[in-house]
């Protein structure tokens, strides 16, 4: 990457730090008025229904796929053609942001690029040159105070901005949007789950690979395998989820924020770009007319395929909930015997849910984790923190609000 202060891509110094307790350092606590966290935070008193009505003009339906994925104008399976080098999937996210800059629809994009000192650490950047969006490609593991960039962006005179971010950042941005004084904010969101600190992620890479410094790419794929690529000459490889050394990780490897997160699919973005429901391609949820306008900028550069929807998720989700309940109750996880792992790893992609059913399963699993971990660790937060859409997702599995746990609406 070129110097981060070159024209076209800047990494402004951001003061302060995260708040104590549940905080993913989204950036609000580093702004001129850190008290805004009280209004903005996903972990304090999120109001998804109110925000959906403001952003999309209506709340999500409680039946059908909107109950899982949020307000949807169109759902698509796409790939950028040709795929962009260095992208996490095919590069639709950064290509959309680059097109917004190229066409003059926005003056600046707020997103993250790799920190020059550590490629896995996300560094908040303001991009004004579309060619430099390429440097933001790829996923970093860790928390980045990207929302705080709104202040230097405004000070630099930008009036129309795009924001690329994960759900907890987007919740905060939407809560503050009306007071920020921009003419236009376009939000390109990605789904997010199981984030952790960059330091923890380095520990994970060291457990997965004897020479982790050569790893240039890591992803959990929708075919139940994770893919590892190297830039030290070794060929790429895939490892079934079940063979990952997850049980060897310390109990606090995934922070409480990400175990109690209430939005997997970035419900408040104008457009969500992920992979979960894409069955090997990318999975795109256009949520409103602004999102449709952004996607139209890639006309002729994306190939589409019909969404797939196979298998049954209920058994897998039930098993996951039973395991999580055991772990959340402090009991050891029932580890699968070593001899059974190769068999289960072989079976999973063949009989497990695929396409949209895989995405529904993951969304239900994450919702159940939220309820179980909050119930164990922070029961008094449940009433304010768990939105009705999460309770609806877990109800079929017998998880219902107890006294004082909320759930109305």
Interface residues with ligand FAD (CB under 6 A) are 87-94, 111-112, 122, 136-142, 144, 164-166, 190-193, 195, 273-276, 282
| CA distances, 291 to each of 100, 168, 295, 297, 317 (Å) | 11, 19, 6, 10, 31
CB of 139 or CB of 394, closer to ligand FAD: 139
138 binds, among ligand SF4, ligand FAD, none (CB under 5 to 8 A by kind): ligand FAD
Q: Which of 10, 88, 93, 195 binds ligand SF4 (CB under 6 A)?
A: 195
x/- site string to ligand SF4, residues 140 to 179, per CB under 6 A? --------------------------xxx---x-------
| Span interacting with ligand SF4, options 26-34, 220-228, 269-277, 290-298, rule CB under 6 A | 26-34
Q: How far apart are CA 269 and CA 14, in angstroms?
A: 24
No. of helices (H) and no. of strands (E), the chain: 14, 14
When binding is defined by CB under 6 A, the residue of 10, 11, 14, 43 that contacts ligand SF4 is 43
Q: Does 257 bind ligand SF4 (CB under 6 A)?
A: yes
Judged by beta carbon, residue 140 or residue 225, the one nearer ligand FAD is: 140
CB 5 within 8 A of CB 11: yes
DSSP annotation of 106 reads -
Contact 47, 53 (CB under 8 A): no
- CA-CA distances (angstroms) from residue 293 to 2, 92, 153? 31, 14, 23
CB of 272 to ligand FAD, least distance (A): 8
CB 37 to ligand FAD: min, Å: 18
- Alpha-carbon span 49 to 348, nearest angstrom: 36
β partners of residue 225: 240
CB burial readout 20-48, b (16+ within 10 A) else e = eebbbbbbbbbbeeeebbeebbbbbebeb
Which of residues 11, 19, 202, 277 is near ligand SF4 by CB under 6 A? 19
Q: Which residue is nearest to ligand SF4 (CB)?
A: 261
Residue 109 in the binding site for ligand SF4 (CB under 6 A): no
Spatial contact of 162 and 187, defined as CB atoms under 8 Å apart: yes
Shortest separation between residue 172's beta carbon and ligand SF4, angstroms: 5
Pick the binder of ligand SF4 from 9, 18, 68, 100 (CB under 6 A): 18
Phi, psi of 168 (to 5 degrees): -70, -30
Task: Determine which residue in the list 93, 94, 146, 193 makes contact with ligand SF4, applying CB under 6 A.
Answer: 193
Query: How many CA atoms lie less than 13 Å away from 159 in the CB half-sphere?
Result: 3
With CB under 6 A as the contact rule, the residue among 9, 11, 14, 40 that binds ligand SF4 is 40
Tell me how far, at minimum, the Cβ of 186 lies from ligand FAD, in Å.
13
Site residues (CB under 6 A) for ligand SF4?
18-19, 23-26, 28-29, 37, 40-41, 43, 166-168, 172, 192-193, 195, 257-258, 261
């Amino acid at each position: 990457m070129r110097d981060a202060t070159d024209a076209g891509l800047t990494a402004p110094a951001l003061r302060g730090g995260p708040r104590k307790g549940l905080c993913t350092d989204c950036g609000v606590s580093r702004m001129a008025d850190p008290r805004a966290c009280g209004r903005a935070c996903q972990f304090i008193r999120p109001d998804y229904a109110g925000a959906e009505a403001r952003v999309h003009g209506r709340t999500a339906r409680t039946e059908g796929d909107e109950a899982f994925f949020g307000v949807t104008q169109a759902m698509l399976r796409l790939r950028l053609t040709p795929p962009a080098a260095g992208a996490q999937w095919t590069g639709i996210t950064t290509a959309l942001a680059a097109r917004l800059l190229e066409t003059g629809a926005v003056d600046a994009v707020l997103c993250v690029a790799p920190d020059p000192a550590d490629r896995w650490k996300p560094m908040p950047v303001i991009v004004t040159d579309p060619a430099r969006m390429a440097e933001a490609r790829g996923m970093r593991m860790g928390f980045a105070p990207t929302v705080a960039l709104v202040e230097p962006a405004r000070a630099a005179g930008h009036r129309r901005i795009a924001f690329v971010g994960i759900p907890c950042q987007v919740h905060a941005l939407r809560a503050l949007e009306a007071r920020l004084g921009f003419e236009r904010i376009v939000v390109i969101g990605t789904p997010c789950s199981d984030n952790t600190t960059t330091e923890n992620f380095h520990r994970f890479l060291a457990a997965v690979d004897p020479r982790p410094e050569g790893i240039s790419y890591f992803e959990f794929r929708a075919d139940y395998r994770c893919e590892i690529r190297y830039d030290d000459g070794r060929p790429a490889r895939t490892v079934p989820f079940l063979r990952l050394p997850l049980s060897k990780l310390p109990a606090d490897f995934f922070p409480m924020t990400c175990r109690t997160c209430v939005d997997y699919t970035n419900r408040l973005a104008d457009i969500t770009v992920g992979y979960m429901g894409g069955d090997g391609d990318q999975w795109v949820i256009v949520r409103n007319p602004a999102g449709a306008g952004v996607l139209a900028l890639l006309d002729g550069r994306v190939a589409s395929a019909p969404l797939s929807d196979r298998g049954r998720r209920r058994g897998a989700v039930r098993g996951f909930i039973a395991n999580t309940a055991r772990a959340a109750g402090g009991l050891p996880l029932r580890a699968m015997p070593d001899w059974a792992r190769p068999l289960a790893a072989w079976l999973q992609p063949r009989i497990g849910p695929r396409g949209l059913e895989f995405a529904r399963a993951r969304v239900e699993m994450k919702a159940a984790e939220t309820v179980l971990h909050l119930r164990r660790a922070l029961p008094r937060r449940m009433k304010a923190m768990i939105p009705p859409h999460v309770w609806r997702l877990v109800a079929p599995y017998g998880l219902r609000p107890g006294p004082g746990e909320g759930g109305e609406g």
